[in-house]
Structure 1
Amino acid sequence: MNKIIVILILSAAVGYSQGKNVTVAYGLIIEKETGLFDNNAMLKSMLEKSILESKKLTFQLIITENGSKFFNEEMLDSDIASHSQRFTLAMANYMGIVINLKEKLLFQKEMLGENIYAEEDLKNNWILTNETKLIDKYLCYKATNVYTVLNGSKIFSHPVIAWYCPKLPFPYGPVGYGNLPGLILELRVRNTVYGAKNIKLNSDSNFDIKALEKIKILDKKQLEEAYYKLNDFID
């Protein structure tokens, strides 16, 4: 993603070591993928719309001493997203707010309720490489992983590529990806690319960690049961 990153530094100190937080704005690009939805004209048309609509979306990552919060600005500003917006977000692997509490991930499950979250382990199994590239003069290193999708009895694996910057020592990134020795400035998952557009060090933005006391966290079994009941109700 060839975006210019604007770094706003209010002091020489980096990040929350001085009691301030860090915010990162990410843009999104959904690319065409050969063969995707070729057998479904409706989904293919929706994908083409998503490719255009994705460029209008902005996501925020707030980093504090407690962890991080990743969210889509438009979804927070609107109670009801259009069908095409939800399709675009689904294509971007974004299903709601993601809270990273350093030792675990909490994913919002908006279909089940605003305050329903599922707990997952931090992203691991990264393969670190010596390959580098500059992203707006920041030296970034390449790390790879695999995104696995279960569809019935079939398992699909898609490549994940993260470019992280050790000079920005925050182990976070878009849509729950992180646990690397630096901030992820660019993330590619299949045909979706998140790219940092703006990084603000010593930001006043924050998220209320106490609000997590009011949410309900489901384990894997509870989540499966909740979706089963939801599907049974819809049917």
Structure 2
Amino acid sequence: MKYKRILLKLSGEALMGDKNYGIDSSRLQQYANDIKAVHELGVEIAIVIGGGNIFRGVQAGNVGIDRVQGDYMGMLATLINAMALQSSLEQNGMYTRLMSGIKVESVCEPFIRRRAIRHLEKGRIVIFGAGIGNPYFTTDSTASLRAIEIEAEVVLKGTRVDGVYTADPEKDRDAKRYDKISFQEVYEKNLSVMDMTAFTLCQENNLPIIVFDMNKKENLLNLVHGKNVGTLITSK
């Protein structure tokens, strides 16, 4: 087993499955099964999930909503997804804690770093919702920051693409996938991995990122076992 403590970043859009919006129950169940398989190995798991299947703050201006207000709406969308994932995990026999960047005491705990680490040490899966609680920061930034705070060994960015490519593989058939690449090369080649704030946080703290296809069953399990899945981004 390669990693003891991980931060798993999930896309809100991926929860849609084949739908146009909302949450696909089969995709949610697949995620729960994959996470359970890793959890049963004794890996400490923290999760950040986006809210793009419900509402994205950056789209607020298109419908006449103030950006800051839109970002707070996006935070609430991440909480809805986090609650759905929490419920699915618990129905599969796992113990969880949902911690929020904004105060929503009726449904979750406020984020407290030491408490989050203690939950992980006790074998609970910790889900971080509502971003960091401030507008203008993405859930990618949340994932990087929380991973650093809880001393995770790696950020696993689960997407619908199986790694980082020389170009968008959905648009360019000749795009090549990297097995491994450095932070500096990503900058120089202007490759899309995370937003700049999130990416820089990982680089400055020597926190590796692995971009992989979360929708392929057992990819997460194979990653934790150290198998070559997705693209590894490191300082060297």
| TM interval, short-chain normalised | under 0.3
Larger Rg: 1
Considering Cα pairs closer than 8 Å and 6+ residues apart, tell me whether 1 or 2 has the greater RCO: 1
Give the TM-score normalised by structure 1: 0.26
Which structure shows the bigger proportion of residues in strand conformation? 1
Decide which structure has greater helix share: 2
TM-score normalized with structure 2 length? 0.26
